[in-house]
Chains A and B, each alone.
Chain A
């Protein structure tokens, strides 16, 4: 190593020297950027030729409408409602078909198990627990999601999402947050865990944390179908059948809008307390609209969603079904374990408009929101009148037999919208923030809000003798 005789140079030495040069020429950084751009101009100039046609093309015209003072907000609301309307109207039939097929198969399974001489507990766990949990998740979750996501992706591919951020940024600014937060919320529709990760697009660490902490207030893939199902059978069920879908979609849309308002409120509160600070800057690129590739979108988001839902169903719903079945069928004295737990939760749950079983289902649903409804139904079915859930009508009967009123439905939907994030989302929050404290707050804030809101709604309704 003869070359090593040279005196060593350390990085620090060079940095000090660079620092000196920089101090004597404070604009150096800017000049570097300007110089690169000058080079870019010199290269692009001769290589690019533009035949300027009417540049005010449909791009401009579309923006004139979609971001207009008059129509900007109403169009956002209308698009959201229409998407839900199509989802709800379209999901009914395939849901029914999937349910019919799967439950027919369940009967077949039962016969086979009996022929094979399987013990009751095995049949219970495998068929009535695992298979049934799986079947419910697939029948209830898959069709709405397979309709909602292609529609949503259509808007995404068109380039509408940045316009939503453009329209709403002012509200976020008032909450001292960033307009790009709405983009992370849009990702949250798919999955809150993905929404939390997408918060990286927000530059300011403070505003990014706000976005992480509030992402849960947009209902994800696992909660939408629950909201849709309850809205359809309860809210829709109160009006004549022609209006059912319309009412149900209006209810779901209102819930989403409520979630957005809660997001604003919590963002505002955080900016004024734990995460104090002024709104920082926002630089948002509005890409040109592009014609969505219908085929590719439908194919991809359909397949994507189907696989996503099926995977979650198998990983989460099947084991949850088995556990729930066991809890519901292991008796201590006269009452099943589930019965005990629900009875123990009952007073508390009643105060917020739910019942012990509903709260228990939400608690057991912590690993995945998809399994809340199946657990709840399994609890109800095992607790009393054995009834097979095939149609939404039957679902409605099950709920009513278990003393559901419109208040139970409203509070369940509110709780579903506002309550704690699932473990996957919490894990993402932990990875993104790297802090136990912020992860805990990601859990705590929605939980507290869900309890407060449901408590107020339930107590006022009862005080006013509305139920």
Chain B
């Protein structure tokens, strides 16, 4: 990114999400279902004291905090927990808009090891928006207690993105997590996220819209995902994206008209 676009992006972040980054700082979004330990991971990484509690909905506001690893500064944003980011509620919209339009350098998706299947639902949705994700399988100690074993390397291979097992409360796995965040943000690691297989009716519908969507949004967002949202008739998303298009793409569109 050139200097001016970096500045623009910084303004965009502070205007829309109330987030102030310093130049050269990486932003990391922290997403996940409610009560999976996002704030605990956040605290463990940043050394802050966000409130945690064993009930879904403890965090309702974005919190931010930073940490330094290998001389690079990272700004973490603790998003409210959501079951999905198909945006049916304000919190989901906040989380979704940030991952989608805030363009974090990495998105850390925290999963509950004791109910991985349901949590993967969200991880897969995030993977459709951005390839730069790291999956953190938290509460691994609880899973062990319940005799649940998770094959992390198989999961990593299947998902195509880094997967780290953690027990954030005991500090287990955090070193690896920092390492992966660093690799992802600096571009040392090139993820190849698995694409969701849709049934034929959905896939056909996507293909029908895809060319036009690609042309409208260019390479700013994953066109497949945008097509899906439009097919879903997601009004909140349509509002967000038209705002975003105005903000981000309008100059070029004016040029088009001029030519």
Contacts and interface: CB of A to CB of B under 8 A. Distances in A.
Contacts of A5: 259
B212 interface: yes
Contacts of A396: none
Nearest to B33: A285
A5 B150 CA distance: 53
Nearest to A284: B56
A13 B216 CA distance: 10
A157 B227 CA distance: 41
A35 B125 CA distance: 11
Interface stretch (B21-29, B66-74, B100-108, B200-208): B200-208
B232 A44 contact: no
Contacts of A273: none
A22 B154 CA distance: 37
A463 interface: no
A462 interface: no
B209 A21 contact: yes
A50 B143 CA distance: 9
Given A21-B205, A31-B201, A287-B35, A49 B148 contact: yes
A43 interface: yes
A465 interface: no
Nearest to A49: B149
Interface in A275-291: 285, 287-290
A48 B155 CA distance: 9
A425 B52 CA distance: 22
Interface stretch (A197-205, A309-317, A449-457): A197-205
Interface in B183-203: 194, 196-199, 201-202
B117 interface: yes
Interface string B60-78: 1100000000000000000
Contacts, number: 175
Contacts of A51: 147-149
Contacts of B250: none
A289 to B, nearest CB: 8
B57 interface: yes
B209 A159 contact: no
A46 interface: yes
Contacts of A8: 253, 256-257
A388 interface: no
B259 A157 contact: no
A37 interface: yes
A288 B120 contact: no
B232 A180 contact: no
A18 B196 contact: no
Contacts of B257: 8
Nearest to A299: B49
Contacts of A35: 196-199, 202
A466 interface: no
B41 to A, nearest CB: 15
Interface string A21-46: 11001001101110111111101101
Contacts of A4: 255-256, 259
Contacts of A32: 198, 202, 228, 231-232
Given A9-B216, A36-B124, A28 B231 contact: yes
Interface in A182-217: 183, 197-198, 200-201, 203
A40 B124 contact: yes
A157 B53 contact: yes
Chain B interface category by residue count? 35 or more
A56 interface: no
Contacts of B201: 25, 28, 31
A14 interface: yes
Contact of B91 (A25, A44, A200): A200
B53 A161 contact: yes
A39 B55 contact: no
A5 B80 CA distance: 43
A120 interface: no
A44 B194 CA distance: 14
A162 to B, nearest CB: 5
A435 interface: no
A32 B225 CA distance: 11
B116 interface: yes
B236 interface: no
Interface string A1-21: 100111011110111011101
A430 B241 CA distance: 28
Contacts of A49: 148-151
Nearest to A28: B231
Contact of B238 (A10, A15, A44, A50): A15
A43 B195 CA distance: 12
A18 B150 CA distance: 40
Contacts of B176: none
A52 B233 contact: no
Interface in B25-51: 34-35, 49, 51
A19 B245 contact: no
Contacts of B89: 203
A180 B118 contact: no
Given A9-B215, A22-B231, A48-B150, 15 more contacts: A11-B242, A18-B233, A21-B208, A32-B231, A35-B202, A39-B196, A43-B155, A43-B194, A47-B154, A48-B116, A50-B149, A53-B146, A156-B53, A157-B53, A200-B57
15 contacts: A1-B259, A4-B255, A19-B233, A21-B231, A25-B205, A28-B231, A31-B199, A43-B159, A46-B154, A51-B148, A55-B146, A180-B57, A200-B57, A201-B57, A287-B55
The 9 A-B residue pairs with the shortest CB-CB distance in the complex, in nearest-first order:
A201-B57, A40-B120, A159-B54, A18-B230, A4-B256, A51-B147, A44-B117, A200-B60, A156-B53
Interface of A: 1, 4-6, 8-11, 13-15, 17-19, 21-22, 25, 28-29, 31-33, 35-41, 43-44, 46-53, 55, 153, 156-159, 161-162, 180, 183, 197-198, 200-201, 203, 285, 287-290, 293, 296, 300, 304
